[in-house]
C-alpha cells in the first residue's frame, strides 16, 4: 500500500501518453475528450530526463513509442540500455531475451492505475478529474495543462504535473516535493491510422 511515488511516476507517464492523442484545438476539456479517439495510432520518439538534486547531469534515456487506442502502449527503450515494455489492460510486460513478453512483478493494486490509464485512453476525463485539479491555458496550438493532485497523500509526493502541447503533446514535467523532477519530451509524434504487423504481433501475445 506504500507504492505511492511509483504510482505517481507511472501515472505521469500514462497521462502523458494519454494526452498525446488529445487534439490540438482542444481548449475545453470536453473538446479534448471528444477528439481523443480521432487518431487510432500515435507514434514518435521520446527523451526521458530525470533531474536529481545531487547530480549535475540528468539521467537520460531515449527510445520510440507507439500508442494504440483500445490496445495499449509500446515503449521501446533504446539507450542507454535496450528494453521493450508494453502496457495494456493486464499490466506491464517486458520482452525477454527470447522475445517473449513477461509480465513484470506487479503489485496487486496496479489494477486501479491501469484502469485509470485505460479510462483516459478511452477519452474518459472524469477519471482524471477525480484525481487532479485540471487547469488549461494558452492557445490551441500552444497550450498548457496543469494537473494538481487532489489527494493529500499524492500531494506529499509530487507538486504538479505540467503538460505542454501544440498539435500533440510535446513535453511533460513532473515536479516531486523532494526537489527532483522528471521531464518527458515527445518528438516527431505523428498520428497514424493502423498498426504495423510487428506492432500487432507485439500487442497480440
Q: Name the minimum Å distance from CB 138 to other proteins.
A: 25
When the beta carbons of 28 and 133 are compared against other proteins, the nearer one is 133
Q: Name the minimum Å distance from CB 13 to other proteins.
A: 4
Stretch that binds other proteins, among 53-61, 118-126, 137-145, 196-204 (CB under 8 A): 53-61
**Rounded CA gap, 191 and 124, in Å?**
20
Sort strands 72-79 and 41-51 into parallel, antiparallel or unpaired.
unpaired
Total residues in contact with other proteins, by rule CB under 8 A:
53
Q: Name the minimum Å distance from CB 7 to other proteins.
A: 6
Q: Name the minimum Å distance from CB 141 to other proteins.
A: 27
Q: Is 7 in the site for other proteins (CB under 8 A)?
A: yes
Which contacts (CB < 8 Å, 24+ apart) does range 115-122 have? Answer: 116/11, 116/14, 117/11, 117/14, 117/18, 117/87, 118/89, 120/14, 120/15, 120/18, 121/18, 121/21, 121/36, 121/67, 121/69, 121/70, 122/36, 122/37, 122/69, 122/70
When the beta carbons of 8 and 36 are compared against other proteins, the nearer one is 8
CB 122 within 8 A of CB 114: no
Task: Select from 35, 119, 131, 148 the one that contacts other proteins (CB under 8 A).
Answer: 131
**Rounded CA gap, 22 and 168, in Å?**
7
The contact set with other proteins (CB under 8 A) reads: 1-10, 12-13, 48, 50, 52-55, 57-61, 75, 77, 80-81, 83, 85, 87, 92, 94, 104, 107-109, 111-112, 130-131, 150-154, 156-157, 176, 178-180, 182, 184
Amino acid at each position: 500500500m506504500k507504492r505511492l511515488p511509483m504510482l505517481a511516476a507511472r501515472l505521469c507517464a500514462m497521462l502523458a501518453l494519454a494526452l498525446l492523442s488529445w487534439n490540438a484545438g482542444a481548449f475545453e476539456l470536453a473538446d479534448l475528450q471528444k477528439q481523443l479517439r480521432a487518431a487510432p495510432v500515435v507514434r514518435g520518439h521520446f527523451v526521458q530526463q530525470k533531474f536529481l538534486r545531487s547530480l549535475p547531469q540528468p539521467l537520460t534515456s531515449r527510445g520510440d513509442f507507439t500508442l494504440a487506442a483500445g490496445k495499449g502502449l509500446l515503449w521501446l527503450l533504446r539507450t542507454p540500455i535496450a528494453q521493450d515494455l508494453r502496457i495494456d489492460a493486464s499490466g506491464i510486460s517486458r520482452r525477454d531475451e527470447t522475445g517473449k513478453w513477461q509480465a513484470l512483478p506487479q503489485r496487486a493494486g496496479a489494477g486501479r492505475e491501469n484502469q485509470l490509464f485505460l479510462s483516459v485512453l478511452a477519452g474518459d476525463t472524469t477519471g482524471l478529474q477525480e484525481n487532479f485539479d485540471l487547469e488549461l491555458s494558452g492557445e490551441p496550438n500552444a497550450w498548457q495543462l496543469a494537473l494538481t493532485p487532489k489527494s493529500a497523500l499524492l500531494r506529499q509526493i509530487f507538486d504538479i504535473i505540467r503538460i505542454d502541447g501544440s498539435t500533440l503533446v510535446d513535453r511533460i514535467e513532473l515536479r516531486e516535493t523532494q526537489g527532483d523532477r522528471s521531464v518527458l519530451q515527445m518528438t516527431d509524434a505523428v498520428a497514424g491510422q493502423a498498426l504495423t504487423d510487428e506492432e500487432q504481433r507485439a500487442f497480440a501475445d
